Copies of this chain bind each other. A is one copy, B any other.
Amino acid sequence: MDDGEAVASAAADYQPLYAQVKNRLVQRIGSGAWKPGEMLPNEFQLAAEYKVSQGTVRKALLSLEADRLIVRRQGRGTYVARHTRDNSLFHFFRMVGLDDARLRPASVVLTQRSQRAAKLPAQLLSIAPGAALHAITRLRYFAGRPAIFERIFVPSELMPGLAVQPGVAMEEEMYVIYQERYGISIARASERLAAVAATAEEARHLDLAAAAPLLEITRVARDVNGRAVELRLSRCDTAQARYAAEVY
């Protein structure tokens, strides 16, 4: 072949057309060209714009839907996904009651302050040690009983001026706040679970005996581009609720 070399060099970073279309759509959504809740052009319009067939656009859109960046409804259209209190909570909150019933925890902020990142949080958030962090502690309740003591760390650079009101029940999920105030959508999270003994402070907040066993969840949440946005350390009393996971 005459063009063997051109083909070979092109093959290195080859992506199928639908993947290229998907990437361009991710870019546009990520850059805010369409805002959460807005409708995208239909499949034929996008196909015309990108000079591909409708079937190729379709494949890209189905993949975006699988990634939860968009929502598609037959007869309605395709929309940029939006975090709401209802669905945001249940994509990421995996605690269920002992009878497997879904739980809706109430949340009360205990403290909020700015601090410098220690080594471990810095590493998990992929930032420099000593970088500025928002640190929030809060308590979450099931049916009025304290159940989860939580520490949340967010790089100040990503969310300058982030503020929540201590002492009152939070109306919104943190992820809704990130999206609405800063345009940052949490797309996925990585969790590590361990069993630990409650510290004196935790036992006091959770109304447990000293050194009671707690389920510790270390979660790193990332946006659609894979950037670490939040580190959350949750310590859960599993007398009232358990962590649920489905494995395939």
Contact = CB atoms under 8 A, between A and B. Distances in A.
A208 to B, nearest CB: 11
Interface string A73-109: 0000000000000000001101010001000000000
A191 interface: yes
Interface of A: 67-68, 91-92, 94, 96, 100, 187-197, 213-216, 218-219, 236, 238, 242-248
Given A91-B248, A191-B247, A195-B238, A214 B215 contact: no
A190 to B, nearest CB: 6
A193 B245 contact: yes
A147 to B, nearest CB: 12
A248 B187 contact: yes
Contacts of A245: 94, 190-193, 245
Nearest to A95: B193
A193 B242 contact: yes
Nearest to A237: B195
Given A213-B213, A213-B214, A248 B68 contact: yes
